[in-house]
Structure 1
């Protein structure tokens, strides 16, 4: 849908007022600057220094800046929540205030229940393979797109899986599923709630920014999150133990464009976006893995103890995680979504990616 510069600016300013209480004036988005020239607005909560931003968003934007001019394509990039928090990005996309942004299914469980399949535990230990298997399912023709994302007008271009989640605790290590029973564990919600319930722990949903204070004040016993998150929010200073190899799932995020904006592009412009997406997916895979490895080294240097899952205990962990996946599929089927078929497809696709 073509918009005038005045109406597009008004939409973006209104969105900024609602989300940040600050008037933000931006250039028009997804409108023809000149004939056949398009400017897209991209907004995200990740700062450029975040592994997803540094490895994915920045290369994506840079590629478009370098190659988009030849096909009449420009992009305006607003990172670090300048136009709204992550929870608000789906609404900004739907309203047309922005054209490109991330969706994180665990933040939108009610609206995107099927997309949460990507966060389930026990599917793979390799976050890059998880993302590679998922993205075709999220695009036109894919199971998740056709059954869920299409109705929301969201065209996924590339995705990332925050490396496999672990449980970090302050007072006692978690080495077996029984060790987690009765603990109060903070997490991002979504499938994390189901995993913790399967372990007999109580889930306390909150944002990463609240983890440190919750543990320091003994509000919770620990958190379930990615290893670099423990470092980036300073949580490593208040925890003493972290599982390693528990394979408790991931947090997935997908950068996409609104269907209206995508439909307004020509084939050459879409080609540039596909190429930029391929660069970004590879880059963010490497950056989040590197951030995880760096965080492990820093935590070990600070005296945090990693509890490696012993081979004798692996079957017990796998049994719990199998039940978690089965319960997710059963609940989804009962609510009317093709959850079992989608989970089976994801598991098949992961095996195919691993065999390449």
Structure 2
């Protein structure tokens, strides 16, 4: 089967048996995000350092950031066209229609964190379980694009936050304009009967300041990147409106330039950098929450402290989001139910929980 050297590379890295690449290689690596973002200043920088050191300098990089070579949602074109060799990250959710199943990590869950979802997504990529026509998730979603891909560090949980009126009862959602950052977030907000307003996170500060939106779905750890801490006053915690995941990707042409030792070193570095990045995301989450409370009077309310009616309303909205997403993609011919079922099983094995009703719907 045409796959990464997944288990072999990880095992070799741990036992110190990985041979050094036999020839020097320099790769053009690009991020469409600024240095301040944890996927550029964190994951990409760490990946380059790890691989540079593990190859003893045989593998080097020419990095470009902040859209210098390719913009958000154009990473796949750049890889396929050869203008970049490695995308760190390839922002799958912004490639409309190209990675239909990769949004699965944005489905609502309970008790999940960044390391857990990072491990789960990589396990999904590694899985030998067939999702359609004899193909695994990786073979269906990744291989046809002419690239190799790994999980990066998942964001911390996306949360429901408001700058004005807090969300305390189901009726509070009615018609409330709330920012959605992805298609699944829009599905979730539709289920709550609020009014989704789709916009990039870079526009949220102005929208909140002007009252164009009353709140948003966003990872708390992302607030500093957009200076949102002074504006957001109330956040519901312990329920994830999904986690944003993307890929570290290399073109097949660039991959073929590496010998077997170089490919194994690349694989091991990708996995190590993702695990490291996940810890950074959750570390920032704790810092931002503490600063929000102490400096700006922010309030964080666990979903379990809300009324029983509100807890059920949020759980039902989350469960319906799973169903709507699956049925929409199944209608387009994609194996969404098989993918969601596999991901759900992995998340549960990692200690996460599903909204009530999802397991029954998936037949788990």
Bin of the TM-score, shorter chain as denominator length: 0.7 to 0.9
Report the Cα distance in structure 1 between the residues aligned to 2:177 and 2:77, rounded to whole angstroms: 32
Q: Is contact 2:151–2:245 with CA below 8 Å preserved after alignment?
A: no
* Selected match of 1:41 from 21, 28, 43: 28
Q: 2:362 maps to what in 1?
A: none
The answer as to 2:283 corresponding to 1:290 is yes
Pick aligned residue for 1:303 from 297, 304, 327: 297
| Partner SS for 1:236 | coil
Figure out how many residues of one structure are paired with residues of the other and give that number.
320
From 325, 338, 353, give the equivalent of 1:328: 325
Cα separation, 1, equivalents of 2:93 and 2:196: 14
1:141 to partner: Cα distance: 5.4
* 5+ long unaligned stretches in structure 1: 1-34
Q: Aligned pair in 2 of structure 1 residues 132, 140: CA closer, same or farther (>3 Å)?
A: closer
Deviations 1:295-327 (A, max 9, x none): 111111211222321353433322221111011
Give me the whole-angstrom Cα distance separating, in 1, the residues matched to 2:70 and 2:335: 32
Tell me which of 136, 146, 150 is aligned to 1:157.
Answer: 150
Q: C-alpha separation between the residues in 1 aligned to 2:332 and 2:111? A: 26
Q: Does 1:112 align with 2:87?
A: no
Q: Match of 1:125, SS?
A: coil
Residue number in structure 2 paired with 1:98: 84
What per-residue deviation string (whole Å, max 9, x for no partner) do you get for residues 186-206 of structure 1? 121221111111111222111
Alpha-carbon spacing, 1:234–1:246, altered in 2? closer, same or farther (3 Å): same
- Structure 2 stretches lacking a partner, 5+ long: 1-21, 130-135, 353-364
Deviation at 1:139, TM superposition (A): 5.2
SS at match of 1:160: coil
Alignment of 1:29-108 (within 5 A): 36-69=23-56, 72-101=58-87, 102-108=89-95
Alignment partner, residue 133 of structure 1: 120
Match of 1:260 in 2: 253
- Which residue of structure 2 lines up, in the alignment, with residue 238 of structure 1? 231
* Structure 2 contact 110–238 (Cα < 8 Å) conserved: no
Could you say what secondary structure the match of 1:243 adopts?
strand
RMSD of aligned residue pairs (Cα, Å): 2.1
Question: What is the correspondence of 1:159-178 to structure 2 with a 5 Å cutoff?
Answer: 159-178=152-171
Quick one: distance in 2 between partners of 1:212 and 1:145? Answer: 37
Aligned to 1:226: 219
Higher relative contact order (CA 8 A, sep 6+): 2
Query: Is the Cα contact below 8 Å between 1:121 and 1:249 reproduced in 2?
Result: yes
Where 1:128 maps in the other structure, the secondary structure is helix
Contact 1:194 1:324 in 2 (8 A): yes
Task: Give the 5 Å matches for 1:16-31.
Answer: none
Q: Retained in 2: the 8 A contact 1:135–1:156?
A: no
- In structure 2, what is the Cα distance between the partners aligned to 1:48 and 1:330? 38
Q: Deviations over 1:231-275 (max 9, x none)?
A: 321122223222222321111122111122223321100111112
Structure-1-length-normalised TM-score = 0.83
CA distance in 1, matches of 2:208, 2:350: 38
Give 1:25's aligned residue: none
User: Per-residue deviation at 1:47?
Assistant: 3.5
